Amino acid sequence: MRRSGWLFALVLAATPLQAQQISDTHAPEAASARAGGPKSATGRDWMVTAANPLAAEAGAAMLRAGGNAIDAMVAVQLVLGLVEPQSSGLGGGAFLVYWDAAAGTLTTFDGRETAPRAATPTLFQNGEGEPLAFMEAVIGGRSVGTPGTPALLEAVHKRYGRLGWGALFAPALELAENGFAVSPRLAGLIAGDAATLARDPAARAYFLDAAGAPLAEGTLLKNPGYADTLRTLRVEGAAAFYQGALAQGIVAAVRGSVNPGGLSLDDLRDYAVKERAPVCGAYRGLDVCGMGPPSSGALTLGQILGLLEPYDLKALGPASSEAWRLIADASRLAFADRERYIADVDFVPVPAKGLLARDYLAARAKLLEGDDALPEVAAGTPRWDHAMAPPARVDGAAPELPSTTQITIVDDDGNVVSMTSTIEAGFGSRLMVGGFLLNNELTDFSFRSHRDGVPVANRVEPGKRPRSSMAPTIVLKDGRPVLALGSPGGSQIIGYVAKTLIAHLDWGMSLPDAIAAPNVLARFDAVEIEAGTAAEELAPGMRELGFQVKTGPMTSGVQAVAITPGGLIGAADPRREGVAIGE
């Protein structure tokens, strides 16, 4: 077993103080460490965790008023769209994994954006058929998909909510009308994005001051446009988002921008939330369940854990380079399958069962039996769910930036919400309408539509949902939830969730410590190590094993709740401004 001096450092890294020092090494993430507030909480009755204290308080207010987890989630999301507007909101999409305690069932809801009818597979290609530069694709209307979040909030509230729809709007409306203090993290991100925000008149007027300077931390920011939108949706429901003046405003912004897109009133009118069966992978006697396609979250997380199942990570421990070799190469194998096979299952067949089949994972896990990094990693050949000949598949090319937000809630009936919500990149398409930002979710599609004449599964098609990495997760033991979590972070989300689960389940770290432990993951060729943390000590050993190694900021934002016989434990990632509130 190869060991570094990392064990001692890792234990230190898991303390709140050390975690704060880790965050302080990154600007603008440094801001989050100064935000204060509890990063973990305990509760007997309920727990709400969210990426901003005002949003978590809104959820807590609903729960104190007799609301349930779905009521709290809607209130949290409406406030996040105001106080963390760069990450999620009405102009974006979300995936919800939901445990219905009364029914004893787990289900998922897909509120992912759809490509407009007018979209074509060459949406993100230049005249020569080559992929556009990422930011060229992102900014403006071209990248905007039909938002799903308003429809999702209404659909699940209609089905499960306990409080009246109107009551859920009170906290967000109050903050939009009377103002909230711009948080350190938001101020830092506005400053970093001022040039692109300045390109849209509405975004410029909101995020920059009259002289064009980015809003400073602590500025009291009111959002009358968002307040108007909230009042409209409160009275008229989500239909007022998808038809009428608001819909016309969204279409005009998308079509009238410098880099126009094809979103139409018909696309908005026809948007539909989809309920889908959860996808579960087995790990250490637990069922790790989450969102299937169009998200790659649960399948890829399930593959990583399934490939690691035969290996005794507990015995190896967190200080062992051997443990990280296994985790890194399991992740690379899973990401190779993800790139080849996972896309919107309503448009392309996905071998979902085959990717998690025990015999397939056992055979792939044997590839990890050597001592060194795998020199090459390629997609495997999972069984397909149908009898026809497997379709030809080639790898796509979809850049994904860290962004997004996680909401995790348990209520006093035992209902559990794990929802990951996004407008894709920070500040999405940078187009602002009705006081909220429009997503750039379409850039989660592969920019390449074909390779050598073979179509890419995740190519752009009209009405299709772009592949996601969002991994809202609920872990079941003997059919009952014991843990719920998720994270922002683009395609790093999957590694952040995997690390948290391994640190908690295999290495016995408490939930807050597992979240705070340094991030180390692999997606494609390189092992990525969180800069400024004790994990940097792993780098020489990983290089010796044959890995390429990169270090950089890895700003996970895990929000998690453990459901234990002794009560609820909530924890928020120390790298961001989130908090857990429980009672």
- The residue ranges that bind ligand GLY (CB under 6 A) are 400, 404, 422, 424, 441, 444, 468-470, 490
Q: Which is nearer to ligand GLY, 169 or 445 (CB)?
A: 445
Q: Which is nearer to ligand GLY, 470 or 581 (CB)?
A: 470
At residue 184's C-alpha, the angle toward residues 183 and 185, to 5°, is 90
Give least dist CB 470 to ligand GLY, A: 5
User: Phi-psi category of 279—alpha, beta or left, where left has phi over 0 and alpha has psi -120 to 50?
Assistant: beta
Tokens of 387: 């009898």
405 in catalytic set = no
Q: Which is nearer to ligand GLY, 87 or 320 (CB)?
A: 87
Residue that has been written with the tokens 């209130």 in this structure: 75
> How long is the chain?
583
Q: Which is nearer to ligand GLY, 168 or 494 (CB)?
A: 494
What gap in Å lies between CA 206 and CA 435, rounded to an integer?
8
Q: Which is nearer to ligand GLY, 108 or 469 (CB)?
A: 469
Strand order across the beta sheet in which 579-582 lies: 274-276, 105-111, 93-100, 416-422, 405-410, 47-50, 579-582
Tell me the chain's radius of gyration from C-alpha atoms.
22
Q: Which is nearer to ligand GLY, 49 or 468 (CB)?
A: 468
Q: Which residue is at the shortest CB distance from ligand GLY?
A: 468
Closest CA to 145 of 425, 465, 394: 465
Please name every residue paired with 422 in a beta bridge, in sequence order, or none if there are none: 93
What gap in Å lies between CA 375 and CA 177, rounded to an integer?
57
What gap in Å lies between CA 488 and CA 469, rounded to an integer?
9
At residue 24's C-alpha, the angle toward residues 23 and 29, to 5°, is 60
What gap in Å lies between CA 288 and CA 331, rounded to an integer?
16
Tokens of 389: 């000949």
At how many degrees (to 10) do helices 53-64 and 170-178 cross? 140
Q: Which is nearer to ligand GLY, 188 or 489 (CB)?
A: 489
Q: What are phi and psi of 388, to 5 degrees?
A: -65, 165
Selecting among 49, 108, 146, 404, the annotated active-site residue is 404
Please name every residue paired with 295 in a beta bridge, in sequence order, or none if there are none: 468
Catalytic annotation, residues: 404
